[in-house]
A = this chain, B = another copy of it.
């Protein structure tokens, strides 16, 4: 615990931001302009700024906000990767896991940085920089595990959502059919989730569906049983 400085060591922050578009899971990637790994896809990240960033989460928020122009719905630390995966030297990368509702990337951001929503299913076809494939894999596992016992996939949806909408998100994330009934039972026992009175979703065939919303954060709510 004596602190001589570590030599030639970079500390970065990387972010795995997921959303649901068109009933499939997408992750935000940027195309690298410079070496190393120029032309390859990478997670949106940056260098930890010891002046601006009081901690890792705030660093991640700052960087994501710079890249997307938006505040995202949910963010937590994923894990930290230390090692020799950057040709420029030993690196410590604090990776974060984030969720947001589907939105269009602002054109400026999209052009300058070439940030894009990439369907997770297509990742195997892409070249990914550094160890970002592993990081995405870990983030995916985190998301899938949490989907089993928590409500955080709600953060992939807009402020107002329907039971069926959430059921679809859950099914997409877990890769298997989830019963509406099951989702409904879970939602209705959480007092932080309330129907928006008067507000219904329409457009599709069938009856109008009730819209719900969150009155407080639901990231701490865990269920006793996992789905499946």
* Residues of A in contact with B (beta carbons under 8 Å apart): 1-12, 32, 34, 42, 45-50, 53-56, 59, 77, 79-84, 86, 88-92, 94, 129, 149, 224-226, 228
Specify the chain B residue showing the minimal Cβ separation from A228.
Answer: B224
Of the residues B3, B32, B92, contact of A94 by C-beta under 8 Å: B92
Give CA–CA (A42, B3) in the complex, Å. 14
Chief secondary structure at chain A's binding surface: loop
Specify the chain B residue showing the minimal Cβ separation from A14.
Answer: B1
Give CA–CA (A146, B76) in the complex, Å. 19
In the complex, how many angstroms separate the beta carbon of A51 from the nearest chain B beta carbon? Answer: 9
Quick check: B12 and A11 within 8 Å, CB to CB? no
Quick check: A1 and B84 within 8 Å, CB to CB? no
Which B residues are CB-close (under 8 A) to A225? 224-226
Give CA–CA (A81, B224) in the complex, Å. 29
Give CA–CA (A226, B10) in the complex, Å. 40
Residue of A49, A55, A80, A149 with most partner-chain B CB within 10 A:
A80
Which B residues are CB-close (under 8 A) to A90? 50
Give CA–CA (A79, B45) in the complex, Å. 18
Give CA–CA (A3, B226) in the complex, Å. 41
Quick check: B82 and A56 within 8 Å, CB to CB? yes
Quick check: B1 and A11 within 8 Å, CB to CB? no
Q: Can you spell out 21 A-B residue pairs with CB atoms less than 8 angstroms apart?
A: A1-B12, A1-B42, A1-B129, A3-B10, A3-B12, A3-B47, A5-B8, A5-B10, A6-B50, A9-B9, A9-B11, A9-B50, A48-B82, A50-B90, A54-B83, A55-B82, A55-B83, A56-B81, A59-B82, A77-B80, A224-B228
